[in-house]
């Protein structure tokens, strides 16, 4: 039976939780297909897939510092409201995916005023106990 190794193409379902609150999941959607060594998943999470086989379901726990770095108070900034002009009805607590230097990143809206907003540019799972759950559906080593 095939097991996951470098360059395997894998179809999987996964979920990420922070302090037991669901952050994202594919279990209620379409599974995703990734290539090990070339995906956008954090390296430590991708490494946990090595050796798994079709049908395997696993859950891993991580300190968020291992994945998302240490929480940095300097990443909480006040900026012009126009920064999020493409989003309607932005309110405190909203988590918005944006791009910085061609990399996807998430910001959390903390406060909203007429012309300014306060956003937290730390990953929303920073300073949280992170749980990663995975179900391996298919492995293709022919790539």
CB 5 within 8 A of CB 136: no
Nearest-angstrom CA–CA distance, 64 and 124? 10
Q: Is residue 3 situated within a structural domain?
A: no
Q: Do both 59 and 81 map to the same domain?
A: no
- Place 143 in a pLDDT band, splitting at 50, 70 and 90: very low
Where are the extended beta strands (E) located within the chain?
Answer: 9-18, 21-25, 32-35, 57-63, 76-80, 95-100, 103-112, 116-120, 129-140
Q: Do both 49 and 64 map to the same domain?
A: yes
Domain that holds residue 90: 73-120
Of the ranges 29-38, 98-107, 123-132, which one carries the lowest mean pLDDT score? 98-107
CATH number of the domain that residue 16 is part of: 3.10.50.40
Q: Do both 88 and 53 map to the same domain?
A: no
* Reported pTM: 0.80
Q: Do both 100 and 116 map to the same domain?
A: yes
Q: Is residue 115 situated within a structural domain?
A: yes
Of residues 37, 40, 32, 34, the one with CA closest to residue 14? 32
Token digits for 61? 């726990």
pLDDT digits (tens, 9 = 90+) for 65-96: 888 888 999 999 999 988 777 787 889 999 99
Q: Is residue 90 situated within a structural domain?
A: yes
Q: Do both 18 and 46 map to the same domain?
A: yes
CB 45 within 8 A of CB 59: no
User: Structurally, how many domains does the chain consist of?
Assistant: 2
Q: Do both 16 and 52 map to the same domain?
A: yes
């Amino acid at each position: 039976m095939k097991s996951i190794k470098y360059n395997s193409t894998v179809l999987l379902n996964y979920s990420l939780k922070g302090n037991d609150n669901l952050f994202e999941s594919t279990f209620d959607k379409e599974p995703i297909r990734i290539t090990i060594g070339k995906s956008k998943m954090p390296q430590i999470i991708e490494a946990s897939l090595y050796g798994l086989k079709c049908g395997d379901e696993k859950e891993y726990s991580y300190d968020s510092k291992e994945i998302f770095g240490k929480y940095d108070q300097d990443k909480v900034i006040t900026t012009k409201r126009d920064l999020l002009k493409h989003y309607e009805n932005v309110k405190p607590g909203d988590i918005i995916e944006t791009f910085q230097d061609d990399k996807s990143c998430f910001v959390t809206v903390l406060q909203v005023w007429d012309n300014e907003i306060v956003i937290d540019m730390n990953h929303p799972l920073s300073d949280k106990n992170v749980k990663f759950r995975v179900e391996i559906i298919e492995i293709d080593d022919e790539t």
